[in-house]
Amino acid sequence: MYKIEKKDQPRVEMFKGAVRHTLACGRDILMARFEYKKDSKVPPHKHAYEQVTTILKGSQKIIIKKNEKIEESIIRAGDAYIVPPNTEHEQINLEDSVTIDAWNLAP
């Protein structure tokens, strides 16, 4: 076991109104807590790894685009979602929100 104390868990403002608090980052997996202000946005982006997210507080509109198909969902506290690898997605925060996200960073 490798203990990571709270003082060693960095906080970074990713976008205006979006703060990432890295809880743990191993060799292959990263887990983070995100805090979003109402009306903040995560712009369209994609990454080579799968992302899993659960929302602890608030609500968000998630927009996922895959092969020219667009899927929009409202995600609320208690809900979760998965973004497949290499899939464009974006997020609009409908209220102040908190999520836990995890990524498999392994190739």
* pLDDT single digits (tens) 20-53: 999 998 889 999 999 999 999 999 999 999 999 9
Domain boundaries along the sequence of the chain: 15-104
> Which CATH class, in words, describes the domain spanning 15-104?
mainly beta
Using the CB atoms, write b or e for 46-56: b if 16+ within 10 Å: beebebebebe
59 within 8 A of 53, measured Cβ to Cβ: no
Position 9, amino acid: Q
Which pLDDT score is estimated for 31? 96
pTM value?
A: 0.89
